[in-house]
Every structure is written in structure tokens, then in C-alpha cells.
């Protein structure tokens, strides 16, 4: 993309100011300083290139409407540095990761993470008895490429909705996945768009809720949608193609392919795997990039496979509906479960809360579920079936949830303060 005197052309990506030398395709030059920012884009997704071009347009064009750099080119070099950082973040393929993953320290860390909250399980206790030998076995299986994902055990859960969870053995599978993601997850997290809030360090439902409120307060309309049976519908080929665009270490690609294709058939990234939540985010990061840099709505938020687009133009959102459907179908082999456009004044139901311009309420179904949990806790306390530590944990979790909403009446209806007194009685 050539950006010259505020005009964009799509033939190459270069930024030339003040008679600077042309370094060729995908280069940026300022004041005759031939700083080549070459990025090999062979086999990369179109959305990465669009994101890069959009960043350059947004950073460069407003600053130099006449196509010139001021102050000796310093400002232009700042732009180039920012573009370079963005190239590294979204287009770099990472290698030389194997040695970091199979270190004894990383395997030990993976074991401690995998067993967290599960030390009561027999399989965990069996490994603990021969911990040093077991962890060395895991390390050797990974290093020698003799590891293979085991068969899944299926379990149904019914809250908050009916789903099938697929469970792998603790040894070696869950330890292997934790070892892999201890190194890979931070790399992928830096690639993700900031509008994605699920399963990411420092983000979550509440950060998503805050961003929704910022958009709701501006008024206008909302396009709300979600992907139909997201995890069971993820194509193994699509997932591997995206992984290969981000990782070049052949050993990592071997183990990722073993995990991705471990489920029978050509689809399904099983809910229950640690890797699945990260692969799901990696796949839908393609949608994030497309929406943010091609559609460019006034606001956008995603949590797992649920997403919101905001605009003051209802017509624009209607057009976005069709474009998103086509993008999901053609690029990711996914379909929408439901999508609708409505005024934000109706309230935006997202991540367990209903967002209005001046207040936030707990979603009705969430409120019913929390009431049921608290009611059952009181029954357990009265029957002596729960200790103070677990009871406090449940109440603290509930208070933390309610704290983010205008929920005084709901709190009173659940008798939270009375339950806390009952818990104190357990310790007396």
C-alpha cells in the first residue's frame, strides 16, 4: 500500500516521505533513511495484511496530510517503529520453542498447574508418589516424539447449559498440555486483539462488561451474534492452518497437530482441553481482525464465540451481518447460531449482565442460578455438610459477581449477610 500525500493505493505497502528511497514492497522509508521493514507474508492470511495496512494508514495519514515529515523526520521514525512492532506482533512466526518447553523446570511448572485443585484424585496421588520419575517420562515422551494423545472420556454438564466435556488422563496428557501452553500461551496472547476478553490473563467477564458499558452509553444500535456450536464446529484443517501461520517450530507443530486431530473426524476442538480455549481464541482472532480492520464498526467486543458490534447506523450493522456470515463461512468454515440488530436502549445482555446506559443488572437466568447455589449452601450449612472455608469461598464468589451490578435488592433477597453470620457460627 503506497501512502503518499494522504492518498492510499493498494499495489504495495510502502510509506515514502521527503524524497526517501524506495525500499520495495512492504517497506517504510523516511528522510532518505532506507529502513527496510520486510515481512515475508507467503501463505499468511489476508486479515494480517489488512491489519498492517490499516495501522499504517491510521498512524501516518493524519499526521502528514501533505505527505511530508516535520522536525527532521523524528515523528516519521516513531511511526515506523510502531508499524514494525505491529508487524512483529501479528505476522512473526515463532521458532526454537522446543528447548523451552521440555526443560525440567517447565515440566515441573506444568505438573503443579495441572494438579491444582485435583490433589484428591487417585491419578494425581499415584503420580505424586513417583513424581520425579513420572515427570522425566513426560519429558522424554515429548522430546522423543513418542507422545500421543489418549482417548477421551465424555462427561455431560448441565450448568449453565447442557454440554459435553471431554476429559483426558492426568498423566501424561494434561501435564503435556500445560507444558506446551506455558510457553505458547504468552506468545499467542500478544497476538490477540484487545477486544477479546475470554480465557486471557488480566481479562475476563468484567473487563468485557466495562467495554460494553462504554459503547452502550454512546447510544445507537448493537449487532449481537454467536457462533453455532463453536468448539464442536472448529475444522481441524482450519485450526492447523492458522497455527502454522503463527508457529514455525516443526516440533511444536507436531504436538499441536497430534492434539488438534486427536478427536475422531475432521471437526471438534474438545471442550475440556487446556489447549482448546487458546485454539478457539486463535481461530476467532481472525474474525476480530476482519471486523476491526475491514468492517470498522464504532465498537466491538468478543467473549468466546459471543460478540457485539456497535454503530449509530442500523443500516451499516445490517450490512455487517451479511459480511460476517460470509467471512465465517468462507474463511473459518463456521456459521452463526443467531444474530440480531437492536437499539442499545433496550439493554445489552452480555457476559451474564444486562447493560443499560445508567446501570447494570444481573441477567435473570444468572440471578436464578446464583439464588439456587446460595439456597443450597444454606441447606449444606444447616446439615453440617460443608466446612467454613468452602462456604466462605462460595459467598465471596457470589459477592464478587454482584459487586459489578446494581444488585442491592438481589443481595437482600439472597440474605447474604445472614449466611455470613451462619458461616461465622461454624467457626465458633
Q: Are 90 and 191 in contact (CB under 8 A)?
A: yes
Q: Are strands 360-362 and 306-311 parallel, antiparallel or unpaired?
A: unpaired
50-59, 209-218, 235-244, 345-354: least confident range: 50-59
**What contacts 158, CB < 8 A, 6 or more positions away?**
none
- State the average pLDDT over residues 212-240: 97
pLDDT digits (tens, 9 = 90+) for 311-344: 999 999 999 999 999 999 999 999 999 899 999 9
Q: How much of the chain, in percent, has pLDDT values that exceed 90?
A: 60
**Residue 65 confidence (pLDDT):** 40
**Residue 88 confidence (pLDDT):** 54
> What CA–CA distance (Å, rounded) separates 319 from 291?
12
pLDDT at 63 over 50: no
19-28, 161-170, 217-226, 288-297: least confident range: 19-28
Higher pLDDT, 324 or 40: 324
Cis-peptide, bond into residue 160, ω within 30° of zero: yes
pLDDT at 47 over 90: no
Grid look-up 514455525 returns: 248
DSSP helix, strand, coil percent of the chain (3-state; round to 5): 55, 15, 30
Q: Work out the mean pLDDT of the chain and round it to a whole number.
A: 83
Q: Are 293 and 54 in contact (CB under 8 A)?
A: yes
User: Model confidence at 101, in pLDDT bands (50, 70, 90)?
Assistant: very high
CA distances 15 to 118, 147, 422, Å, are: 55, 48, 68
> What CA–CA distance (Å, rounded) separates 419 from 409?
16
Nearest to 288 by CA among 41, 45, 37: 45
Using only C-alpha atoms, what is the Rg of the chain?
25
**What contacts 213, CB < 8 A, 6 or more positions away?**
355, 360
Higher pLDDT, 403 or 65: 403
pTM above the 0.85 mark?
A: no
Amino acid at each position: 500500500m503506497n501512502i503518499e500525500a494522504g492518498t492510499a493505493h493498494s499495489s504495495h505497502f510502502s510509506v515514502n516521505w521527503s524524497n526517501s528511497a524506495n525500499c520495495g514492497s512492504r517497506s517504510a522509508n523516511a528522510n532518505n533513511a532506507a529502513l527496510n521493514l520486510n515481512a515475508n507474508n507467503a501463505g499468511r492470511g489476508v486479515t494480517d495484511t489488512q491489519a498492517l495496512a490499516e495501522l499504517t494508514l491510521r498512524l501516518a495519514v493524519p499526521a502528514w496530510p501533505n505527505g511530508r515529515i516535520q522536525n527532521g523526520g523524528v515523528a516519521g521514525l516513531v511511526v515506523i517503529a510502531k508499524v514494525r512492532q505491529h508487524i512483529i506482533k501479528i505476522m512473526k512466526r515463532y521458532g526454537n520453542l522446543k528447548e523451552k518447553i521440555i526443560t525440567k523446570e517447565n515440566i515441573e511448572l506444568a505438573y503443579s498447574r495441572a494438579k491444582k485443585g485435583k490433589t484428591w484424585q487417585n491419578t494425581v496421588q499415584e503420580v505424586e508418589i513417583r513424581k520425579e520419575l513420572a515427570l522425566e517420562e513426560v519429558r522424554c515422551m515429548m522430546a522423543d516424539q513418542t507422545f500421543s494423545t489418549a482417548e477421551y472420556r465424555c462427561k455431560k454438564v448441565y450448568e449453565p447449559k447442557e454440554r459435553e466435556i471431554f476429559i483426558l488422563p492426568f498423566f501424561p496428557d494434561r501435564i503435556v498440555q500445560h507444558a506446551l501452553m506455558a510457553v505458547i500461551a504468552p506468545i499467542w496472547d500478544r497476538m490477540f486483539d484487545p477486544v477479546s476478553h475470554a480465557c486471557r490473563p488480566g481479562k475476563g467477564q468484567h473487563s468485557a462488561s466495562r467495554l460494553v458499558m462504554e459503547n452502550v452509553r454512546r447510544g445507537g444500535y448493537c449487532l449481537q451474534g454467536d457462533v453455532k456450536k463453536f468448539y464442536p464446529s472448529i475444522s481441524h484443517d482450519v485450526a492447523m492452518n492458522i497455527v502454522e501461520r503463527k508457529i514455525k517450530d516443526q516440533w511444536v507443530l507436531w504436538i499441536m497437530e497430534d492434539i488438534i486431530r486427536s478427536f475422531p473426524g475432521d471437526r471438534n476442538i474438545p471442550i475440556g482441553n487446556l489447549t482448546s480455549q487458546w485454539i478457539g481464541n486463535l481461530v476467532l482472532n481472525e474474525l476480530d481482525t476482519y471486523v476491526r480492520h475491514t468492517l470498522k464498526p464504532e465498537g466491538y467486543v468478543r467473549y468466546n464465540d459471543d460478540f457485539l458490534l456497535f454503530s449509530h447506523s442500523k443500516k451499516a450493522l445490517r450490512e455487517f451481518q451479511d459480511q460476517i456470515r460470509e467471512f465465517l463461512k468462507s474463511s473459518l468454515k463456521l456459521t452463526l447460531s443467531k444474530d440480531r440488530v437492536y437499539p442499545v436502549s433496550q439493554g445489552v445482555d452480555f457476559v451474564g449482565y444486562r447493560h443499560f446506559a445508567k446501570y447494570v443488572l444481573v441477567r435473570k437466568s444468572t440471578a436464578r442460578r446464583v439464588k439456587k447455589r446460595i439456597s443450597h449452601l444454606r441447606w449444606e450449612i444447616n446439615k453440617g455438610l460443608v466446612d467454613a472455608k468452602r462456604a466462605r469461598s462460595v459467598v465471596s464468589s457470589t459477592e464478587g459477581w454482584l459487586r459489578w451490578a446494581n444488585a442491592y435488592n438481589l443481595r437482600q433477597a439472597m440474605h447474604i449477610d445472614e449466611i455470613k453470620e451462619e458461616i461465622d457460627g461454624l467457626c465458633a
